[in-house]
Amino acid sequence: MSEVAEHYTYWVTIFLMVAGIYILIARGNLMKKLIGLATLQTSVYLLYVAPGKLIGGTAPIIAEGFKVYSNPLPHVLILTAIVVGVATLALGLAIVVRIREAYGSIEEDEILERDRAEDERRAL
C-alpha cells in the first residue's frame, strides 16, 4: 500500500495528461483541442515539479535558518515552459481565428468536408 502512497503524485499527473490527450484527439472543435493541449501542458508542469520537492524543505531561496531546500532545477525549466506554452497557445488561437474567417466554422469535420468538396470541384 505504501507503493500507492509513494507514487500518488505521478498517477494524478498521468490522469490529467490522459484527460488532455483525450480532449485533443477525440473532440473535433478546434478551440476545444487547443484547450486540451493547454491542460496537457499544465499536467507536464506538475510532472516535473513534483519530484523536486523534499518534505520538510522550503522554497529554493537562501535565507537564514533553513537547511533543506527543494530542488531548483525543475523550477527553472518549468518557468520557461509556461511562458513558451502561452506563446504557443496565442499562436494557435490566431490560426484558429483565421481558419474561422476563411472557412466559416471551426469544427474539424466541416472543414475537411469543405476541403474535399473543393478538391472534387477542382478535379472536374
Partner 1 sequence: MKHDIILRVIAKLTMPFMVLFAVYVQFHGDFGPGGGFQAGVIAAAAVVFYALIFGLETGQRLAPEWVVEKMLAAGVLLYAGVGFAGMLLGGNYLDYFVLAHDPVHGQHRGIFWVEAGVGLTVAGVMLKIFYMFAGRGRVDEEDR
Partner 2 sequence: MVATIVGMVLQRNLFAVVVLFGIYSLLMATVLLALDAPDVAMTEAAVGAGVSTVLLLSALYLTGSEEAKPLHRPVLPLVLSVAVGGVLAYGTWDLPPFSDPQAPIQVHVAPRYLAEAMAQTGVPNIVTAVLASYRGFDTLGEVVVVFTAGAGVIALLRRRKEKQKGKR
The answer to whether 116 contacts partner 2 (rule: CB under 8 A) is no
What's the closest the beta carbon of residue 118 comes to partner 2, in angstroms? Answer: 21
**String of contacts with partner 1 for each residue 83-102, x by CB under 8 A:** x--xx--x--xx--x-----
How far is residue 69's CA from residue 61's CA, in Å, rounded to a whole number? 8
The answer to whether 80 contacts partner 2 (rule: CB under 8 A) is yes
Nearer to partner 1, 12 or 52 (CB): 52
Contact status, residue 34 vs residue 110, Cβ threshold 8 Å: no
Count residues binding partner 2 (CB under 8 A).
Answer: 78
The answer to whether 105 contacts partner 2 (rule: CB under 8 A) is yes
The answer to whether 44 contacts partner 2 (rule: CB under 8 A) is no
Count residues binding partner 1 (CB under 8 A).
Answer: 11
Annotate 84-117 with b (16+ C-beta within 10 A) or e (fewer). Answer: ebeeeeeebeeebeeeeeeeeebeeeebeeeeee
What's the closest the beta carbon of residue 75 comes to partner 2, in angstroms? Answer: 5
Nearer to partner 2, 102 or 124 (CB): 102
Q: Which of 4, 5, 61, 123 binds partner 1 (CB under 8 A)?
A: 61
- Contacts of the segment 10-13: beta carbons below 8 A, 24+ positions apart: 10/47, 10/50, 12/46, 13/43, 13/46, 13/47, 13/50
58 φ/ψ angles, rounded to the nearest 5 degrees: -140, 180
